[in-house]
Amino acid sequence: MLILKKIKDVENHLKSLVNQGKIIGFVPTMGVLHEGHISLLRKSEAACEVTVCSIFVNPTQFNEKTDYDKYPNTIDKDIEKLNDIGCDILFLPSVKEMYPQGFANEVRIDFGFIAETLEGEHRPGHFNGMAQIVEKLLRVVNPDKLFMGQKDYQQQLIVNELINKRKLKTRLIVCPTTREKDGLAMSSRNIRLDDASRKLAVEISRTLKGAKAAIHHPSSSIFQIQEWGRKRLSDFKDIETEYFEIRNAKTLKPAKSKSENLIVLTAVKIGGVRLIDNMLMS
């Protein structure tokens, strides 16, 4: 695997591959690679001739400096994993390489409600920073296909909008959430959970599953299921719920009818670690 740290080097290398007619797949990450990331990379390898992975912990998408400072780093292991699965190129830029002029926000896209609600509300500035770095990365790699996880549901809706609004050639492919055996969605943040918190974290996916099952009961309303989920989580004294919401899967507007395409999304803090998860309900 080629490890490139400079934008120019990635552009030059990819130019010759594109000239040979190769299909380029791209998986952007913040490192601490787990099976969720690997599943995206496998999809890219199956669908594309060249797979590029990036590892970059993007400062502008962290609304809390301590969260950025505490973000784990396992770069040697990550490189090993990428080599093992046959990734072709790792783009590993520095902060200076991606933000040579500092952090002034160049992306001025108004994503509207999908970026204002849920994560947008609880993590001000997060999606601006995320869109800013994804656009920069897409302009460097210019992939045919971009692989992202359903785990970050709002993120992929916004990136889809970014691609449309900027009229980029890239096609976004959204991949299902990879889970631990007990149902916990894999996340780079999970390694920060202590034993007790890790055990408790299973309640997130259990509650989402419960809500998904309940939606099919004719007697239960969306409101009741939402209330049930919130109560179930708040009954665990060490789970602090930020939101537990049933929304329209396309617009993220509060769901009005069970006939809509619905999704249940949640964000909680356990032992100081913020975790998000979601499940499509249909």
Query: Least Å distance between CB 133 and ligand AMP?
Result: 10
The residues that touch ligand AMP, with contacts defined as CB under 6 A, are 29-30, 36-37, 39-40, 148-149, 151-152, 175, 177-178, 185-188
Query: Least Å distance between CB 119 and ligand AMP?
Result: 12
Which entry of 13, 37, 122, 216 is annotated as an active-site residue?
A: 37
Nearest to 230 by CA among 202, 192, 204, 252: 204
Q: Which two tokens stand for residue 232?
A: 């179930």
Query: Least Å distance between CB 219 and ligand AMP?
Result: 33
Nearer to ligand AMP (CB atom), residue 174 or residue 225: 174
Query: Least Å distance between CB 184 and ligand AMP?
Result: 9
Nearer to ligand AMP (CB atom), residue 57 or residue 109: 57
Nearer to ligand AMP (CB atom), residue 148 or residue 265: 148
Q: What is the DSSP string of 5-43?
A: -SHHHHHHHHHHHHHTTPPEEEEEE-S---HHHHHHHHH
DSSP tag of 189: G
Give the CA distances from residue 73 to residues 28, 32, 33, 69, 277, in Å, rounded to whole numbers and listed in that order.
15, 6, 9, 10, 22
Three-state secondary structure string covering 247-273: EECCCCCECCCCCCCEEEEEEEEECCE
Nearest to 281 by CA among 241, 234, 235, 222: 222
What's CA 243's distance to the chain center, in Å?
17
Nearer to ligand AMP (CB atom), residue 144 or residue 152: 152
Question: Any catalytic annotation for residue 37?
Answer: yes
Question: Which residues does the annotation mark as catalytic?
Answer: 37
